[in-house]
Structure 1
Amino acid sequence: MLTEKLAVSAIAAFGNGAADPSQLGRTAGLKVGYEEGYLRGRASVIIQQERPPFPVRNLKILYVGSGKGFPYAPIDEAISATLQTLVSELFIYEQGQVLSDLVTGLRPDLVLVLDGMEMPTEQIDAVRAKGIPTAVWLTDDPYYTDITVSLASHYDYVFTLERNCVDLYSNAGCAHVHYLPFAAYTEHYRPTLSRSPVRRNLSFIGSAYWNRVQFLQPIIGELIAHGLMINGIWWDRLPEYPQFQDHIELGKWMGPAETAEVYSGTKIILNLHRSPFEETVNNNTAGILAVSPNPRTFEISACGTLQLVDARDDLALFYTPGKEIETFSSPEELLLKIQFYLTHEQERREIALRALERTYRDHTYSNRLDELLRYIFG
């Protein structure tokens, strides 16, 4: 699209006595190609940069995945693959095994459970009765806290990706509660270093929760005009869906590889958090406000693209707004920033690259799991 705009400008200039429009169009194309190559080249340098290794601890860990399948399976893969690089022995629990019998033979130093909703708490109690520490990393706080607040008390250590849930679990009797957001698994989420087959101005990947529909509806026509493409379920809720359905891929769950390809091939990715107060899909009767960034925040930034995300209080702990990420608080502000960054390539590119560098340095699963192990084992 940028090539077309530059070519149109070139033709207009030719009409005023400038050079041959074919030559100017070629120049415009070369400029776009240079900018694309420059971005990919610098991204390549960032992701290949050597970083200090994380310590490998002499620990035996038993990892219990979520048991929920997709979309949790990629997180299970990220955690288990990363743990293999951080501990001396890793064992993976398989569905159908009796956890208490398994730990009797293995005698692990820790049983780490993701999510915990599929693991009966009596099995966790039996493991603890054998003197083996247990930990749970909760995946969906604060959206299902009616359920998680009761299961969390069965674990020795509770890790939550929502800062506002720390007091909830502490007040429920959990002795060790720690704030630990998810991260980017860089084997899944990384820039496309060659020319991406995806070429978009704007993308949004995610479900059409009602707060997202209500936020985007006033400006949906203008977003579509700027090239917005949407992938996700429930977007037929949008009143304008029949008008814009050729810009909406409805009902599709995208895996990490395809998602990363879209992220990397899009100039601006929109990230609009779901609401913690939507009663039809949440179990959060305590009304806990969400202030922490979602996992998508880190995954987008790991793909070397500019992210526009609705402002959350904790965001600045992870990325510097205006330098490594851009935020918005209203549909009007979102639209203004889209218009700016689609016409200011250098500014867009530099924020994207700084976010990429920050993510690879501070926000990988190696960072998070090293922090988890330090919290438990010192």
Structure 2
Amino acid sequence: MAIKSKNKFQKTKNEKVMVCSGGRYESQANAQIREAIISGWESVFGEGNVISTNIAGAAAAIEYIKPKIVFSIGSYLPESTYFGEVCHRAKKFGAITIFWATEDPYEQDANYRIIDDFDVIFSCDRWGTNFYNHPHTHFLPLAACEKLHYRPIDETIEKTVDVMFCGVAFGSRKDVMRSIKPALTNLKVKIIGPGWGEFGIGFSDARIEKDQLIELYQRSKIVLNLGRSLHFENKRYMIMPSNPGPRTFEASAAGAMQLFHEDNYAIHDFYERDEVPVFSTRYDFQQQLDKYLNDPDLLLETAKKAQARTLRDHLYNNRIQTVMEILKNDGFLD
């Protein structure tokens, strides 16, 4: 059973939050994150008090909605994504303006587009917070959404896949896969995402929907977690990601047993080793495969521990509670 977060903050009647994002260039992944973030805000302000707007119409909507908080999310890179007008209108009506950079650290060279407009900036990357010249910059990792990602662990489902991974075949991921591929020989593998087809049997260039992915989690014994390294506008400092991406939390919420490639990701700030085990080398990987594939009970126990941790500490409900605490500590809320 899912663990509910206690709401520490009592809102005033009719206070509203406006979540502003994307426009026509918003990716499917960011659209799903937006839906999950809205669910987190609803846990604090209640359904009906959280309004999602497209950036193209957000400034005009503020006068009608009169939100207490304007919470902008996503990418600030596209030239068509200009948040300045939204912030100016929000401040005219006394709203707190917040930006959550959910694409950090890959767009850091362009952060000048937001630092002068928002009251508070949150970065989804811990190290990335050091590169904003802004007095109210804070770390806020991404998370899972109970409504979208949680599935009870069903022990009756047959696990027909030994090792699976879903995600784009970025160069860094290909390097890891080439290293560990010999250990996958004679195993039932399912590696899915654009760019993987060239690796041969068990690898596919297909894209799948969220519900299909969650079903695959449930049918897989081990889910690989390989971080990405793709720099859109990150050439000045070449900041490497310093904490897990959202799929780490989403997969655990869905009941997956993950094997995490530990590079410079601070996975242990979020999960214990008996919740999300790690590997760094081909030797580590082989050792972990032998350990878990030969012990179904340990596989199940590990997945249950990771799911429990996620439902307790790593839902968007938790992240929004953190936002509210920071707004209070920084003097934006009484």
- TM-score interval, smaller chain: 0.7 to 0.9
CA deviation string 1:135-175 (max 9, x = no partner): 01111111111123432332111111101111111xx2x12
Cα contact 1:319–1:325 (8 A) shared by 2: yes
What is the alpha-carbon root mean square deviation over aligned residues? 2.3
Cα contact 1:74–1:256 (8 A) shared by 2: no
Q: What is the CA–CA distance in structure 2 between the aligned matches of 1:50 and 1:96, rounded to whole Å?
A: 35
Q: What is the CA–CA distance in structure 2 between the aligned matches of 1:116 and 1:102, rounded to whole Å?
A: 20
Q: What is the CA–CA distance in structure 2 between the aligned matches of 1:53 and 1:308, rounded to whole Å?
A: 32
1:257 aligns with 2:211: yes
Could you tell me which residue of structure 2 aligns to residue 318 of structure 1? 270
CA deviation string 1:2-60 (max 9, x = no partner): xxxxxxxxxxxxxxxxxxxxxxxxxxxxxxxxxxxxxxxxxxxxx24566455452232
Gaps of 5+ in 2: none
TM-score by length of 2: 0.87
Could you tell me which residue of structure 2 aligns to residue 23 of structure 1? none
Q: What is the CA–CA distance in structure 1 between the aligned matches of 2:103 and 2:115, rounded to whole Å?
A: 13
Q: What is the CA–CA distance in structure 2 between the aligned matches of 1:330 and 1:356, rounded to whole Å?
A: 26
1:354 aligns with 2:315: no
Could you tell me which residue of structure 1 aligns to residue 220 of structure 2? 266
Which residue of the other structure, out of 76, 85, 103, is the alignment partner of 1:140? 103
Show the 5 A alignment for 1:48-87. 48=2, 52-53=6-7, 55-58=9-12, 59-67=15-23, 68-87=26-45
1:162 aligns with 2:121: no
Cα contact 1:65–1:93 (8 A) shared by 2: yes
Change (3 A) 1:87 1:50: closer
Show the 5 A alignment for 1:179-328. 179-191=139-151, 193-194=153-154, 195-196=156-157, 199-236=160-197, 238=198, 241=199, 243-244=200-201, 247-252=202-207, 254-275=208-229, 278=230, 281=232, 283-311=234-262, 312-321=264-273, 323-328=274-279
Could you tell me which residue of structure 2 aligns to residue 127 of structure 1? 89
Q: Note the C-alpha offset of 1:192.
A: 5.2
Change (3 A) 1:125 1:86: closer
Cα contact 1:192–1:264 (8 A) shared by 2: no
CA deviation string 1:251-288 (max 9, x = no partner): 31x2322211111221111001012xx55x55343111
Q: Note the C-alpha offset of 1:357.
A: 0.6
Cα contact 2:254–2:307 (8 A) shared by 1: yes
What is the identity, as a one-letter code, of the residue corresponding to 1:122?
Answer: G
Q: What is the CA–CA distance in structure 2 between the aligned matches of 1:147 and 1:189, rounded to whole Å?
A: 31
Q: What is the CA–CA distance in structure 2 between the aligned matches of 1:52 and 1:121, rounded to whole Å?
A: 32
Could you tell me which residue of structure 2 aligns to residue 108 of structure 1? 67
Cα contact 1:188–1:260 (8 A) shared by 2: no
What is the identity, as a one-letter code, of the residue corresponding to 1:153?
Answer: D
Cα contact 2:193–2:205 (8 A) shared by 1: yes
Q: What is the CA–CA distance in structure 2 between the aligned matches of 1:189 and 1:216, rounded to whole Å?
A: 26
Q: What is the CA–CA distance in structure 1 between the aligned matches of 2:137 and 2:281, rounded to whole Å?
A: 34
Percent identity over the alignment is: 24
Q: Which has the higher contact order (CA 8 A, sep 6+)?
A: 2
Cα contact 1:124–1:155 (8 A) shared by 2: no
Q: How many residues align?
A: 317
Cα contact 1:136–1:152 (8 A) shared by 2: no
Change (3 A) 1:155 1:176: same
Q: What is the CA–CA distance in structure 2 between the aligned matches of 1:72 and 1:224, rounded to whole Å?
A: 35
Change (3 A) 1:165 1:319: same
Could you tell me which residue of structure 2 aligns to residue 25 of structure 1? none
Q: Note the C-alpha offset of 1:125.
A: 4.1
